[in-house]
C-alpha cells in the first residue's frame, strides 16, 4: 500500500513537471490557448536586437508580439502575431524598432498610422475575405519598416560627413572663409567708427534742421488757423485789385505820353506858367556899389 502511494506521488510529480514545462514552452513561443490571432509581415533594413517574443505596439498600446526574425538578402523579415483578430491597422502605416523606455529596455516593434480613422467602419476585418489591402493591413500583409535613428547610425553618419569633408577640403575652405569673415568684420568695425564720426559732425546740421522744422511748424500752424487764412485771403484779394488799378493807370499814362500833342500842350503850359510867375513876382536884381 505504501509502495503504491509512493509510486503515484512520483507519477503525479513527473506529470506536473511535464505540464509546467509544456506551459512554459508555449508561453515562450507565444502560443496562447483560447485566443485567436492573425499574422502580419514586416521588413526592416536592420533588426537592431529584435527577437521572438518582442512586444508589438500600435499607437503606443501593446497588441501582439514578434513570432520570428529571419535574416534575408538585403533585409530582415519579421513575422508578428496580432492578438485581436478584429483590430484594423489602417494604412498608411509605419513600423519602427524602438526601445521600451527612454532609459533603454528591450527593443519592440512600434506601429503608427497617419490615416484618418473613421468613427464607424463596416468594411471587412483583416481576416475577412472582403478585406481591402489598400485600406488596412490584411492577414499576412506586408509593412515596410523605417530606420530608427540610434547612436550607432548617428556616429556612422558623422564619420561619413567627416570623410566627405576631408575629401572636398572643406576644412581648409572653412578656414579661408573664416579669415575672410574676420577681415570683413574688421573693415565693418572701421566703417562703424567712421559712421559714428559722421553722425557726430552732422549734429549741428541736425540741430539747424530741427530749428527750421520748428519754425516751419509754427508757420504751418498759423496758416492752419481759420482767422489767419481769412486775413491772408483778404490781403491777396486787395493786392490783386491794386495790381489791376496800377495796370490801368500805367496804360493811361503810356497812352498820354505817346501822343505828341499832349506833350506839346504840357510844354506850352509849363512855359506859360513860368512867364506868369515871372511877371507876378519879378526878380529883384541886387544893387551894385561903386567904390
- pTM attached to this predicted model: 0.44
Average pLDDT over residues 14-21: 78
Collect all residues with Cβ–Cβ distance below 8 Å to 108 and sequence separation of at least 6: 54, 55, 56, 57, 97, 98, 99, 100
Average pLDDT over residues 43-53: 89
Closest CA to 141 of 41, 49, 1: 41
**DSSP 8-class letter at 136:** B
Distance of CA 173 to the CA centre of its chain: 30
- Rounded CA separation 252/258 (Å): 10
**What is the model's pLDDT at position 224?**
64
149-198: pLDDT as tens digits = 666 666 666 777 777 776 766 556 666 776 777 777 777 777 767 777 77
**What is the model's pLDDT at position 270?**
73
* C-alpha cell, 279: 511877371
Beta bridge partners of 56: 64, 109
Amino acid at each position: 500500500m505504501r509502495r503504491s502511494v509512493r509510486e503515484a506521488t512520483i507519477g503525479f510529480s513527473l506529470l506536473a513537471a511535464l505540464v509546467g514545462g509544456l506551459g512554459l514552452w508555449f508561453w515562450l513561443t507565444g502560443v496562447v490557448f483560447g485566443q485567436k490571432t492573425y499574422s502580419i509581415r514586416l521588413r526592416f533594413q536592420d533588426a537592431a536586437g529584435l527577437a521572438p517574443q518582442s512586444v508589438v505596439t500600435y499607437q503606443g498600446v501593446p497588441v501582439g508580439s514578434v513570432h520570428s526574425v529571419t535574416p534575408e538578402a538585403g533585409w530582415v523579415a519579421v513575422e508578428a502575431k496580432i492578438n485581436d483578430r478584429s483590430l484594423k491597422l489602417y494604412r498608411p502605416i509605419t513600423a519602427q524598432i524602438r526601445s521600451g523606455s527612454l532609459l533603454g529596455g528591450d527593443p519592440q516593434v512600434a506601429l503608427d498610422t497617419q490615416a484618418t480613422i473613421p468613427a464607424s467602419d463596416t468594411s471587412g476585418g483583416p481576416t475577412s475575405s472582403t478585406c481591402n489591402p489598400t485600406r488596412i493591413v490584411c492577414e499576412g500583409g506586408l509593412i515596410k519598416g523605417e530606420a530608427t535613428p540610434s547612436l550607432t547610425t548617428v556616429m556612422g553618419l558623422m564619420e561619413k560627413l567627416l570623410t566627405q569633408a576631408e575629401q572636398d577640403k572643406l576644412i581648409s575652405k572653412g578656414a579661408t572663409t573664416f579669415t575672410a569673415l574676420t577681415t570683413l568684420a574688421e573693415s565693418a568695425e572701421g566703417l562703424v567708427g567712421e559712421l559714428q564720426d559722421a553722425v557726430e559732425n552732422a549734429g549741428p546740421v541736425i540741430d539747424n534742421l530741427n530749428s527750421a522744422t520748428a519754425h516751419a511748424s509754427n508757420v504751418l500752424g498759423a496758416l492752419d488757423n481759420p482767422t489767419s487764412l481769412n486775413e491772408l485771403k483778404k490781403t491777396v484779394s486787395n493786392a490783386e485789385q491794386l495790381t489791376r488799378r496800377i495796370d490801368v493807370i500805367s496804360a493811361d499814362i503810356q497812352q498820354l505820353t505817346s501822343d505828341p500833342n499832349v506833350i506839346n500842350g504840357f510844354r506850352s503850359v509849363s512855359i506859360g506858367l513860368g512867364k506868369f510867375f515871372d511877371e507876378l513876382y519879378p526878380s529883384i536884381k541886387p544893387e551894385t556899389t561903386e567904390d
